[in-house]
Structure 1
Amino acid sequence: MDYPPGTLLRVQQVRRTSLIAQVTDQLRAEIRSGRWPVGSRIPTEPELTELTGTGRNTVREAVQALVHAGMLERRQGSGTYVIATSDLGGTLAKYFADAVERDILELRQALDTQAAHLAAQRRDDNDIATLRHLLDERRKAWDDDDPGAIHADIQLHRGIVVASHNAVYLEFYDSLLPIMEQGIRSRTSKSGGSYHTEHAELVNAVIAGDSERAARAANCFLGSLIAEYPEH
């Protein structure tokens, strides 16, 4: 059978586009499942080609699609990192990127306070073990002046949100993580404060199941940070 000129090329383009979409969905599923958590570096391009069973060009375009969606971020000389668990999270992250630091802290105060309250009510044995581990990791990283100290700090606060067992809450909180990291890095370069006591009080209150104490600890901690910034 004879086909009009260009038909074969169009069929090939459709198949390629479909394959890229499939790989994009596969990578998106890895992120949403938590196997590639926010803040983590995704596998290298050769590893992704092996994982998906496709060529480098297909993988490259699938990754770029998720970069455009705001779920991934390329960092020169370092790799590609997860910055959001959904397209919505990526959109919010872009919006918050230009926000005033005090505004972000005030939003965090509301989110962290309620998350701590819920976590104290709902945390289970796994959450307790995780929070103890994250608190220890944060303290050690900070005392050792580890480059990953800020990441450890963020993961501890995120761990409390995880312990609230509210998936929507967690997805929204994840959208804030990149701008939160930026703010913590900026404050740390100025003050260098470790806030070990405040974090220990927050975690211990959640573990103890004391929701009022946990909320108070989160509220006071963020309130003290907000006080360092002038009113608008």
Structure 2
Amino acid sequence: MLKRRKIYLAGPDVFLPNAIEIGERKKRLCEQFSCDRLELIGLFPFDNEIRPGADGGPVDRDIYRANLAMIKAADCGIFNLTPFRGPSADVGTVFELGLLTGLGKPAFAYSNECRSLLDRLKSQKMAFFDTSVAEWRDRNNMFIEDYGNSDNLMIDACLAEQGHPLVRRKTSLAERFADLGGYLECLQLARSHFLALHPVKMAASAS
């Protein structure tokens, strides 16, 4: 029996000049990873039709409610956690990751930045080593985690605890938000996850 599984596609991709094109490409790739037993359907935030002022309420609330409904309708999510507008992942994407995992759904994520958060901060001269306590600190003298994670431990750990750690890749700055290699790895993980839930039943051999 064909199983249909919806994948929420989250990330700062929605802010790109070609956001709709990227979204359509990601959805087509979901179709390509489908098989005779499994249909993968991508849900991209721009699939929601938001008409400014349609209900007289703030547009941002309409967008929030539409995305929330999409996350609730999804069977899993793929999250682009590439650093955005700073050293960390897009905060909206991180919120959606927390929401989806809080609902008990599987999450898969990738980052087109292979360095740890600490290494990124060090490269931007935003971290110094406090020898008095043997800890890394930021400009506000606040402790910086040194676990080798791509971002805050709550992000990396929630993925690792599900059995599929964050996919980290090295890409050029120019290709940071265009390279879909990490996304493809996550699609394969999602495909394998759902196929494993519904293994092929071998027909009993004739006596």
Q: TM-score range by the shorter chain?
A: under 0.3
Say which structure is richer in strand.
2
Give TM-score scaled by structure 1 length.
0.23
